[in-house]
Structures are given as C-alpha cells and as structure tokens.
C-alpha cells in the first residue's frame, strides 16, 4: 500500500478471527500508526477544525489527555505544524512523556486531585481557563464532540460494515464514549438486530457514580459521565475487573500475538488516571 503521508495510513486495520464457535473477531486498532484507535479521532478532528475554519496554521490545539488521544493529537498536530498543549495528570507514564515530547507537545500537569483520586476535574478547569485567556486556541474536547463521534461513524464503522455481512454483537471498551457513539449508530443502521455491549472497568463512574475504586488501565472508564454517552446506542454494559482485563490482554498477546487495543503493557499507569 502506498500513502502520501502517515495520516493517510490511519485506519483500515486488520480484523482477525480469534475464536471459531461462536465466531469472534478482533479489530487490531493497536496497529494504527501512533498506536491506537484514537489516531482516527485525532486526524478527523483536526481536519474538520480546518474545514470548519476553527483552526488555522498558528492555532494552538489543546486537550486534556495523558494517554492515547494525547499521543495521536501530538503526532497529528506536528504533521499539520500546529502547536499542541496537553493537560495531563501527575501520573503520566515516563514512556508517554517521552513520546509526547518527541512530537514537541507542550505538557501542562494538573496537580489537584478530587475525592476519587482523579485529576480530570482539575484538568478540565485548566483547559477552560486557557480557552478564556489565550487567543487563537482550539479545544478538541474528546468527551463531547460531534466531530469525534462522526470520525468513528465514518471510519471504523464503514470498515466493519464492509467486512461483515452479518454481525450479532459488538464489544467495545469505553472511556469518553466517542467511539461507541459513532460505531453503534453506524452498525445499528446496517445490522438491525446487533447488540452493542459497552465494556467498562471497575472504578469507572460512567454507569456508577458512587464508585471509588482506583483505575490503572488506560483507555477504559472515566471519572465523569461523558457528554458523548447519550449518543451511544448501548444495549448492555459489562463492568470488567482490572485484573481480568490485564489477564485477558496478556493471554491474547502471548497466545495469538494480538495487539487489540493499544500496546497496553508499556503504557499501564501504576496510579489512577482520568
């Protein structure tokens, strides 16, 4: 395959059969150029920002993320030549810091945790302050963005309906709920009986606001109810134990060489995340 630039190489990830009965497939989003499904949202959000004239060459892009979205945005912004600030929590992993710095990202650390040990509230406050004080700034806002929901509807959603004539279930890890919102909308248009199963993690507040469990797996769970959630057409949700998620990941990786989500082993934070 020939591509004119690395952004064009995002998406069209392979789908691999994992089990025969029932047929169960994994889409290898970890094989996107910057390492996760979030590459799709970052590339789409910045392109739409330009098309909608919310971004021009000197606009600083800002986002609250310490993980995969920050990495994807940092890479995409560097390719577009836009400065990028990511607001992170103090538990940013050394590897993620190194990757972000290699893409010239400006890193701002939120220092104040809420009662649940999460820094998300403080991170969003910092972003809101930057938006009011600094001129020519664009906040991507991954927790509530029509462009991001549409990114998944149009990219991974279109890829899956091309690959499968029939589809009974989608199991989707959730955090900001942007991907499940776009994907569930697309898949329900094509597979009328499909069941959409959201896979959340213990300690997440998406479906259980009273939980106080610390989370260490990036890319699953959230400490707020994301604005994207009402757009997701979820039939059922599973709250997975963190230990089980790590065990399944390790099993898939050693038994099938599968990198299904992200190269999580390198990026697991020892401390709670967003």
Ligand X SMILES: Cc1ncc(COP(=O)(O)O)c(C=O)c1O
- List residues binding ligand X (CB under 6 A): 36-38, 67-69, 173-180, 218-219, 261-262
Phi and psi at 139, nearest 5°, equal -95, 120
Dig out the tokens for 66 from the structure: 């310490």
Closer to ligand X at the Cβ: 126 or 156? Answer: 156
CB of 80 to ligand X, least distance (A): 21
CB count within 10 Å of CB 207 equals 15
Closer to ligand X at the Cβ: 59 or 69? Answer: 69
Distances (CA, A) of 182 to 154, 166, 175, 226, 239: 8, 19, 13, 14, 21
Dig out the tokens for 16 from the structure: 């691999």
Closer to ligand X at the Cβ: 173 or 227? Answer: 173
Closer to ligand X at the Cβ: 49 or 261? Answer: 261
8 Å CB contact between 36 and 76: no
8 Å CB contact between 261 and 37: yes
Helices within 15-110 (DSSP H only) = 38-51, 68-80, 94-102
Closer to ligand X at the Cβ: 177 or 194? Answer: 177
Closer to ligand X at the Cβ: 38 or 186? Answer: 38
CB of 236 to ligand X, least distance (A): 16
CB of 2 to ligand X, least distance (A): 27
Helices 178-190 and 146-154, axial angle in degrees (round to 10): 50
Closer to ligand X at the Cβ: 38 or 215? Answer: 38
Dig out the tokens for 53 from the structure: 């004239």
CB of 194 to ligand X, least distance (A): 18
Closer to ligand X at the Cβ: 36 or 147? Answer: 36
8 Å CB contact between 36 and 75: no
CB of 221 to ligand X, least distance (A): 9
Dig out the tokens for 39 from the structure: 């590459």
Q: Distance between CA atoms of 67 and 93, rounded to whole angstroms?
A: 9
Pair type for strands 24-27 and 15-19: antiparallel
How many helices and strands in the chain, by DSSP H and E? 9, 9
CB of 136 to ligand X, least distance (A): 27
* Chain residue whose CB lies nearest ligand X: 219
Q: Distance between CA atoms of 22 and 2, rounded to whole angstroms?
A: 36
């Amino acid at each position: 395959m020939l591509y004119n630039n690395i952004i064009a190489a995002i998406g069209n990830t392979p789908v691999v059969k994992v089990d025969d009965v029932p047929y169960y497939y994994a889409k290898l989003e970890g094989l996107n150029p910057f390492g996760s499904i979030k590459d799709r949202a970052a590339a789409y959000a910045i392109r739409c920002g330009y098309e909608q004239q919310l971004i021009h060459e000197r606009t600083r892009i800002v986002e609250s993320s310490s993980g995969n979205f920050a990495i994807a945005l940092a890479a995409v912004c560097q390719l577009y030549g836009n400065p990028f600030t990511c607001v992170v929590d103090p538990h940013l992993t050394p590897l993620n810091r190194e990757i972000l710095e290699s893409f010239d990202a400006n890193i701002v650390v939120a220092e104040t945790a809420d009662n649940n040990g999460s820094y998300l509230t403080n991170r969003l406050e910092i972003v809101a302050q930057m938006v009011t004080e600094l001129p020519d700034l664009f906040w991507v806002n991954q927790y509530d963005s029509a462009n991001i929901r549409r990114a998944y509807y149009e990219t991974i959603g279109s890829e899956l309906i091309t690959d499968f004539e029939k589809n009974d279930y989608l199991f989707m890890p959730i955090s900001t709920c942007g991907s499940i919102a776009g994907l569930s909308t697309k898949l329900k248009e094509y597979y009328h009986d499909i069941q959409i199963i959201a896979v959340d993690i213990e300690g997440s507040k998406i479906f259980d606001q009273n939980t106080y469990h610390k989370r260490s797996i990036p890319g699953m769970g959230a400490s707020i109810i994301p604005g994207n959630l009402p757009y997701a057409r979820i039939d059922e949700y599973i709250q997975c134990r963190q230990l089980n998620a790590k065990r399944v990941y390790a099993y898939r990786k050693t038994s099938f060489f599968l990198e299904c989500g992200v190269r999580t082993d390198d990026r697991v934070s020892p401390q709670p995340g967003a």
